[in-house]
Structure 1
Amino acid sequence: MPETPKHSVSVAGVVLDEAERVLLIQRRDNGRWEPPGGVLELGEGFTEGVCREVHEETGLIIDVEQLTGVYKNMIRGVVVLVFRCRAVDGTIRPTDEAARVEWFGLSEALPLMDEAYAVRVTDAYQDTPATREHDGVRLTAYT
């Protein structure tokens, strides 16, 4: 009997402020800009995980509004659930995982990110959740 493929499940928060700016982190490990997020822990719910990850990486406490997309890195087998969120408390700050944490207008944010992350942000401004596949940098399928 063949072994079942293994997948990792992650969550990310596209955090918007009252001016509809998006919060991005510049990761310490690779220098790339992206929305905060990370691997979901065993026994942890989706919204609990995104709240934890955003707080750990930015210092903010958030409200989770809605699921805005599901993304799969076809190379690494990582499935990411992305949620639109609103900041409710806290002050942004660099962290162990984020060298920089900053608010950006959408037009400023998109050129900073690889396509696979920029689409997560643009999808978060829509009302209907998207499903997309990528290779870690570029989209490989549109749905």
Structure 2
Amino acid sequence: MVRIEHFNNPNAPKPNSIVVAVTVFVQDEQGRVLLIQRTDNDLWALPGGAQDLGEYIAETAVRETREETGVDIEVTGVVGIYTNPNHVVEYSDGEVRQQFSICFRGEYVSGQLVTSEESSAVCWIAHNKLNNLSIHPSTRLRIDHGYARRNEPYIG
């Protein structure tokens, strides 16, 4: 399925759904952040995805990170809650989703990097290499907040 992100675009289609989703900011012992290259839009992103019925939201973060990267994590905190109504994601099946995403902070537990149907590449990326990658502004905001280690989670 094709995914198009509209960010502050006055011509974006109107949303017809909202889904609870997560992203996860995980660093390795060298301070690099865990990123995937998405198969649906080729952008680099934090691992994450939608919550399943019957699942605690922290379980979603652990499951999505494992599915997309091969890495097991422990959720250790919240980076922020991202609900910008001017950020909508349009899917080729007609769904237009308004953003609602909780970005968790996670700690690496175990596992080896592997790709999935949703990730064509999985890498630990140094902070000073991020500008060389194609990253959506909303994802970059989460990454920047993760590195900032704010005292309180971002709410916006």
Give a deviation string over 1:50-79, Cα, whole Å, max 9, x none: 000000000000011101101124233231
Question: Residues 8-47 of structure 1 correspond to what in structure 2 (within 5 A)?
Answer: 8-47=19-58
How much does 1:107 deviate? 2.1
Structure-2 residue corresponding to 1:130:
154
Q: How does 1:101-140 map to 2 (within 5 A)?
A: 101-112=122-133, 113-125=135-147, 126-127=149-150, 128-132=152-156
- Structure 2 length as normaliser, TM-score? 0.77
Report how many aligned residue pairs link the two structures.
128
For residues 62 and 106 of structure 1, do their structure 2 counterparts lie closer, same or farther at Cα, with a shift above 3 Å needed? same
Which residue is equivalent to 2:103? 82
TM-score, structure 1 normalization: 0.83
* CA gap 1:111/1:69 in 2 versus in 1, 3 angstroms: farther
In the alignment, the residues of structure 1 paired with residue 22 and residue 57 of structure 2 have an alpha-carbon distance, to the nearest angstrom, of: 7
Runs of 4+ in structure 1 over 3 Å off = none
* Superposition deviation, residue 34 in structure 1: 0.4
| Alpha-carbon separation, structure 2, partners of 1:61 and 1:25 | 15
The structure with higher relative contact order (CA 8 Å, sep 6+) is 2
SS of residue paired to 1:82: strand
Partner of 1:141: none
Q: 1:13 to 1:26 in 2, by over 3 A?
A: same
- Unpaired stretches in structure 1, ≥5 consecutive residues: 133-143
What is the alpha-carbon distance in structure 2 between the residues aligned to residue 6 and residue 25 of structure 1? 25
Structure 2 residue 91 is matched with structure 1 residue 69? no
Instruction: Give the superposition deviation at 1:109.
Output: 2.1
Distance in 1 separating the partners of 2:113 and 2:79: 23
User: For 1:92 and 1:73, how far apart are their aligned partners in 2?
Assistant: 31
Question: 2 CA distance for matches of 1:105 and 1:86?
Answer: 16
Q: Percent identity?
A: 35
Structure 2 spans left out of the alignment, 5+ residues = 1-15, 89-96
